[in-house]
Amino acid sequence: MNEEKIFVTQSSMPPYEEYVEAIKPLWSSRWLTNMGEYHKKLELELKKYLGVKELSLFVNGHMALELAIQMFDFPEGGEIITTPFTFISTTHAIVRNHLVPVFCDVKTKDGTIDETKIEELITEKTVAILPVHVYGNICNIEEIQKIAIRHSLKVIYDAAHAFGEKYKNEGIGNYGDATIFSFHATKVYNTIEGGAVTFSNPEYYDKLYNLKNFGIRGEEQVVSVGANAKMNEFAAIMGLCNLKYVDIAIKERKKRDSVYRKLLENVNGIRLFIENPYIKKNYGFFPILVEDTYNLSRDKLYDLLKKNNYYTRKYFYPLTCDQVCFKNKYNTHDLSNAKKLASTVLILPLYENLQLNRLREITEIIKCSLDAL
């Protein structure tokens, strides 16, 4: 049995000496936060890398989303159509803005919101659509935009899983009214903790600045009510360092993705999501679907891999609408596809330094599950 614990991901980090050298100036300047030199530099570098017009940095992806929603001043009690097949942060951000999540089912081919079911959920209270690019699988952005235009709705994308991705050669942060990214330590690209909102309307920059910095616009002037959601200089420097290596990391992840696909292509009962040829992916996750024809249930396979020190994840189980804090509070309509995915998806370990022999061991356990029990 493998003696080393292998987790679903491993944080990307630059060479130690490089980061230490990069943070040395902070001991001279003592400027550690409040939109300092490195914060400003990272905003510029990320705008270039993501190919977006405007970008505002945040302390984490959740606050980026929560304040992006708040920026639009939706009326209290307004409804936002979203997916329950996502990390709990997506739903929290809606509810903490005193808005109502309306859960739409997803597509089993890629886990993203089913755009054909959005319009039937629109009411006079609907103010926005909040789709999620799941595992780097991109939503049907063209159809969602058409729906939003027909009904005069805002579109806010949760792209926590889609850093650096492109759709038809266009940076994914250019779609909708706003897009949020997460730079958490578990993501393809990280600033330890961090996040960003991208957008095209330059007026949004000042709105987001006020929301993340207490509304302070001068030594003696506070123009609006705001929170404290700024990224600090240590995190910004980590982001600048990691940005130099992110393309290498994605390239290495792609290699491992290909190995997994080759080793699992003929395993009965194991299905993979459909690949969209128009998407340039970041290979942040490797999800498999453990279907009824497989030897074991998803949960038993999870236990078996864990027994062998391979720590997979049941992303996303339970659905956010079924979590204790939200269960039976909101109308859920028909979520049969989302419930199916929640009970069958398993995320396998994938990161740039994962040894290929570990991938082979994982797939051998999957292939020989009954013998390995």
Claim to verify: residue 81 and residue 127 sit in the same structural domain: yes
Claim to verify: residue 190 and residue 267 sit in the same structural domain: no
Claim to verify: residue 226 and residue 252 sit in the same structural domain: no
Domain assignment of residue 8, yes or no: no
Claim to verify: residue 258 and residue 232 sit in the same structural domain: no
Domain stops at, among 193, 223, 243 = 243
Claim to verify: residue 365 and residue 274 sit in the same structural domain: yes
Give how far Cα 90 sits from Cα of 21, 41, 64, 83, Å.
Answer: 36, 28, 11, 9
pLDDT digits (tens, 9 = 90+) for 141-176: 999 999 999 999 999 999 999 999 999 999 999 999
Residue 373 predicted with pLDDT over 70: no
Give the pLDDT of residue 320. 97
Domain assignment of residue 1, yes or no: no
Taking each helix axis from N to C end, the angle separating 61-71 and 203-212, rounded to the nearest 10 degrees, works out to: 120
**pLDDT band for position 205 (cuts 50, 70, 90):** very high
Claim to verify: residue 221 and residue 261 sit in the same structural domain: no
- CATH number of residue 273's parent domain: 3.90.1150.10
Claim to verify: residue 128 and residue 225 sit in the same structural domain: yes
Domain assignment of residue 104, yes or no: yes
Domain stops at, among 243, 267, 302 = 243
Domain stops at, among 215, 243, 271 = 243
- CATH number of residue 208's parent domain: 3.40.640.10
Claim to verify: residue 236 and residue 282 sit in the same structural domain: no
Domain assignment of residue 120, yes or no: yes
Q: How many Å apart are CA 262 and CA 178, to the nearest integer?
A: 37
Q: Which residue range(s) make up the domain with 206?
A: 16-243
Other CB atoms closer than 10 Å to residue 24's CB: what's the count?
Answer: 9
Residue 49 predicted with pLDDT over 70: yes
Burial of 5 (0-12, 13-18, 19+ CB in 10 A): exposed
Claim to verify: residue 128 and residue 193 sit in the same structural domain: yes
Domain assignment of residue 10, yes or no: no
Mean pLDDT for the chain overall: 96
Claim to verify: residue 90 and residue 186 sit in the same structural domain: yes
Claim to verify: residue 51 and residue 185 sit in the same structural domain: yes
Q: How many Å apart are CA 194 and CA 239, to the nearest integer?
A: 9
Domain assignment of residue 58, yes or no: yes
Q: Who wins on pLDDT, 369 or 120? A: 120
Give how far Cα 360 sits from Cα of 211, 255, 284, 304, 372, Å.
Answer: 48, 13, 19, 15, 15
pLDDT digits (tens, 9 = 90+) for 83-107: 999 999 999 999 999 999 999 999 9
Total domains in the chain come to 2
In this prediction, residues 364-372 reach a mean pLDDT of 77
Claim to verify: residue 153 and residue 217 sit in the same structural domain: yes
Domain assignment of residue 89, yes or no: yes
Q: Both ends of the chain: CA-CA distance in Å?
A: 12
Give percent of the chain with pLDDT exceeding 90.
96
pLDDT digits (tens, 9 = 90+) for 231-272: 999 999 999 999 999 999 999 999 999 999 999 999 999 999
